[in-house]
Amino acid sequence: MSLQLVIIGLPQSGKTTVFNALTQSEAPTGVFSSGDEEPNLATVKVPDERLSILTDMFKPRRTVPADVQYYDVAGVAKGIHEQGLSGRLLGYLSQGAALVHVVRAFDDPAAPHPEGSVDPLRDIETMNLELSFSDLGLIEKRLPRLAAQIPKLRGPEREAFEREQAALQRLRGAVEEGIPIREVELDPEEDRLLRGFGFLTAKPLLVLINVGEEQLGGPTQELVASARERFSRPGILIDALAGKIEAEIARLDPDDAALFMGDLGISESGRDRVIRISYDLLGLMSFFTVGPDEVRAWTIHRGTPAVEAAGEIHSDIQRGFIRAEIVAYDDLIAAGGLPEARKLGKLRLEGKTYVVQDGDVANFLFNV
C-alpha cells in the first residue's frame, strides 16, 4: 500500500512550506486560493536502515523502499463550511489515509494572519470545527433523501437504507456533541455502508504546529504540551515542526544538512520524524521480501495476517496462499543469511492466520 497523507491548513499557515520540507520540493507558496486548483503532489521514500542492511546482504538488482504520497491542497478558510467545500477539494481530502493539519505558530509581519493574531490553539479549534461542519453537511444532505426513498422500498434494499439512516442519525448526534466520527463505534456493515462518504472527522489527524526558529526548544515544548492537553483524543497526534528551517535543510546535501541540524540542536529531520509519527498514528509497519532480483519494503497495518500481507504483493499470491516462510529481521542479520538462518532453525513455516510482525522477512508460497 502507498500511504497518502493530505496536508491542510488555514491560509498563511505555511503548509506549502511544510510540504516542501517534507518532500524536498520547490512548490511555490501562497498560490492556492480555491479548492478548484490542483494540489501539489510528491512521493517520498520511507527511510529504513533495515532496508539498506538487507540490500548489502543480498545485493539485489534493485531496492524498493516503501513510500508516502503527500498532497498539499488549497487552504481551508474559516467559515468555508457555509458555502461548502468544493467537490474537488473534498475529493482530495477524502482520499487521504490521514490529514496533516499545519497550524501557524510563527510570527511574520510580511504574511499577516487572517485573524489578525497568531493563536495556534484557536486555529486548531477552528479547523476541527470546519471538518465537523463538513461532515454534518454531508449527513444533513443525505438524511432527507433516505427519508423520501425508504417508504418506496421493500425487502433487503429497504433494510440496507434503514441501517444507513440509523447510522447517519447516530453520527449526526455525535458530531453535534463535538465527538469526531473516528470515535464512534461502527459495526462492519455500518462501516461498509458509510465508507463512501469519506467523512473528514473519521480520519486520523496529525496536528503539526509550525514554529519559527526563535521558538525552538522550550517555547515549542510548552506549546505542544498545551495543545496536547486540550486536544489529544483517540486518533489524534500533535507535534511541532519548524517548517521554514526544515525546508532549508531539505535543500542541503546530507553532510551540510547534518551540520546545520547539529548547530540548531535538531536530532532528526522533520521529514523522517513526520513519517515515523504518521506510521504510529495509523498503526502501520513494514515487512520485507528479499532475493537476488529485489529487496523491498511493504507497508501493512499492525495485526495483519500472513494471507492478507501476501495480497499486498499480488492478489494471486493471496488467492493461492499455501504458507509463508518467515524469519525475523534481527534473527536473519545475526545469522548472516537465509541458509544460515534455516540451519539455526530461525526460518519457520507459518499459515494464513500468522500475524506478520514488524521487520519480518517473508517468502510466500502459493499455487494458482
- Which pLDDT does position 34 carry in this prediction? 46
Confidence class for position 150, pLDDT limits 50, 70, 90: very high
* CATH assignment of the domain containing 115: 3.40.50.300
Instruction: Please check whether residue 294 lies inside any domain of the structure.
Output: no
* CATH assignment of the domain containing 320: 3.10.20.30
Examine the pLDDT at 211 and tell me if it is beyond 80: yes
Pairing of the two strands 284-289 and 348-350: unpaired
Q: Model confidence over 231-247: pLDDT tens digits?
A: 999 999 999 999 998 88
Placement of cell 492556492 in the chain: 32
Q: How far apart are CA 91 and CA 112, in angstroms?
A: 29
- Which pLDDT does position 22 carry in this prediction? 93
The answer to whether residues 314 and 189 belong to one domain is: no
- Which pLDDT does position 106 carry in this prediction? 93
The answer to whether residues 315 and 268 belong to one domain is: no
Q: How far apart are CA 130 and CA 126, in angstroms?
A: 6
Q: Model confidence over 258-267: pLDDT tens digits?
A: 888 888 777 7
The count of residues in the chain is 368
The answer to whether residues 24 and 116 belong to one domain is: yes
Could you tell me which of 293, 331, 348, 277 has the C-alpha nearest to residue 50? 331
Instruction: Please check whether residue 286 lies inside any domain of the structure.
Output: no
The answer to whether residues 161 and 243 belong to one domain is: yes
Q: Model confidence over 250-309: pLDDT tens digits?
A: 888 888 888 888 887 777 888 899 999 999 999 999 999 999 999 999 999 999 999 999
The answer to whether residues 114 and 25 belong to one domain is: yes
Residues 336-351, mean pLDDT to the nearest whole number:
95
Instruction: Please check whether residue 288 lies inside any domain of the structure.
Output: no
Structural domain span for residue 350: 303-366
Residues 208-222, mean pLDDT to the nearest whole number:
89
Higher pLDDT, 173 or 87: 173
- Which pLDDT does position 254 carry in this prediction? 81
The answer to whether residues 223 and 351 belong to one domain is: no
The answer to whether residues 327 and 213 belong to one domain is: no
Pair 27, 40: CB distance under 8 Å: yes
Confidence class for position 163, pLDDT limits 50, 70, 90: very high
